[in-house]
Structure 1
Amino acid sequence: MFYFMIVSEKIFTVRGLTYHIRSASAADAKQLSALRLKIDGETEYLDREPGEAFLDEKAFEALIQEDSKQSRHLFLVAAIERKIVGFSRCEGHSLKRFAHKVTFGVAIQKDAWGYHIGKELLAASIDWADQQGIQKMSLQVLETNKKAIRLYENHGFLIEGVLKNDKRLSDGLYYDTVVMGRQLPSS
């Protein structure tokens, strides 16, 4: 069985905080399960309410192992002193008509916001996608997450569309989802 070695570990220090970004491993599964549940309760920028679509340790192990076998999947974690505080994932498609692209998603725990962790996870994912010859990266972001939209635009993503009244949040109102995409730069 062949496993892809995806991304080498990188170390960043921002305003005195040092963190590592690296490929996820099965040993991260327990922390990832707890972290995902925590993040879902900290922000409405993501799709889930706390506890919805819960992934336990075994489910994360299976996901990480499956991603490690797929050349068009990437699962990264960000850790501060071995404690995972964020993660990102690129998921490729098995259908031939969509095999040229991946979908990107990212989540960072709230007390780690502001240290460029999301930016570095995105940059590492873009570098990987470009090296793999992936023609397109796509993502969806809540319309109120202006900071994320600017970050994506600064990394070459364009707004491709808007899903009107796509999400209903805790205030009872409906919000739009912005669909963004980035094409592989021409050589």
Structure 2
Amino acid sequence: MKIEEQKLRVNGLSYTVRSALDNDAHRLSEIRVQIDGETENLDREQGEGFIDPPGFKQIIRTDTESRVNLFLVAEAEGRIVGFSRCEGNTLKRFSHKVEFGICILKDYWGYGIGKNLLKRSVSWADSTGISKMTLNVLETNVKAIELYKMFGFEIEGVLKNDKLLSDGKFYNTVVMGRIKPEMNKRR
């Protein structure tokens, strides 16, 4: 699905949040590898699960055509600096929910990019009949957990000793979910 682009200015940085386009595929392939090397908050080490430009083009096309998928990019200073995806499921029993994921270049942390990608994704989900969003976050990523809580996500569970990081220690993954507010009233 596509959304209308939004121009923002936060802490002196001007950037745009918009739907991903076919011509973003090459940069998305590069930036994903770079981001994976900048933080251990994500599932992959640098270079793992590589998606080449044609692979990203296919994801972008699928997400653009699907009513239950949304692929957003944040563009600043003439380049993509982050992206997020909501990926739905075509199985009827799961068609009410999407899984959210996000990646932002470390140099662009602190400009509200994650917050604005999440805000647009939540707004899109609420307006399109999606009643639940889910995500996984590393237990040590406290800032992200607090941000998700601000948007109504709750901790639904913990996957113990789920990730082995470079320090040789195991860390927990926090499973979070957000149920559309009017859905909570029905229970």
The two structures share one fold, judged by TM-score above 0.5: yes
Does structure 1 residue 94 correspond to structure 2 residue 111?
A: no
- In the alignment, the residues of structure 2 paired with residue 128 and residue 43 of structure 1 have an alpha-carbon distance, to the nearest angstrom, of 28
Q: Of 29, 50, 64, which aligns to 2:46?
A: 50
Q: Of 101, 110, 114, which aligns to 1:114?
A: 110
Residue equivalent to 1:31: 27
Runs of 4 or more consecutive aligned structure 1 residues displaced over 6 Å after TM superposition: none
Residue equivalent to 1:65: 61
CA contact 1:103–1:139 (8 Å) conserved in 2: yes
CA-to-aligned-CA distance 1:57-109 (integer Å, 9 cap, x gap) = 11100110111111000000000033000000000001111111000000000
TM-score by length of 2: 0.96
TM-score by length of 1: 0.96
- In the alignment, the residues of structure 1 paired with residue 7 and residue 53 of structure 2 have an alpha-carbon distance, to the nearest angstrom, of 26
SS in 1 for 2:38: coil
Q: Of 165, 171, 179, which aligns to 2:161?
A: 165
Superposed counterparts of 1:126-165, under 5 Å: 126-165=122-161
Structure 2: gaps (5+ residues):
none
CA-to-aligned-CA distance 1:124-149 (integer Å, 9 cap, x gap) = 00000000010100000000000000
Amino acid at match of 1:50: Q
- In the alignment, the residues of structure 1 paired with residue 180 and residue 130 of structure 2 have an alpha-carbon distance, to the nearest angstrom, of 7
CA RMSD of aligned residues (A): 0.8
Residue equivalent to 2:71: 75
Does structure 1 residue 22 correspond to structure 2 residue 21?
A: no
In the comparison of the two structures, how many residue pairs are matched? 183
- In the alignment, the residues of structure 2 paired with residue 70 and residue 185 of structure 1 have an alpha-carbon distance, to the nearest angstrom, of 24
1:17 to partner: Cα distance: 0.5
SS in 2 for 1:47: coil
Does structure 1 residue 13 correspond to structure 2 residue 9?
A: yes
Percent of residue pairs bearing the same amino acid type: 58
- In the alignment, the residues of structure 2 paired with residue 141 and residue 78 of structure 1 have an alpha-carbon distance, to the nearest angstrom, of 20
Q: Of 120, 126, 137, which aligns to 1:124?
A: 120
CA-to-aligned-CA distance 1:27-53 (integer Å, 9 cap, x gap) = 100000000000000000000010001
Amino acid at match of 1:115: Y
Structure 1: gaps (5+ residues):
none
1:15 to partner: Cα distance: 1.5
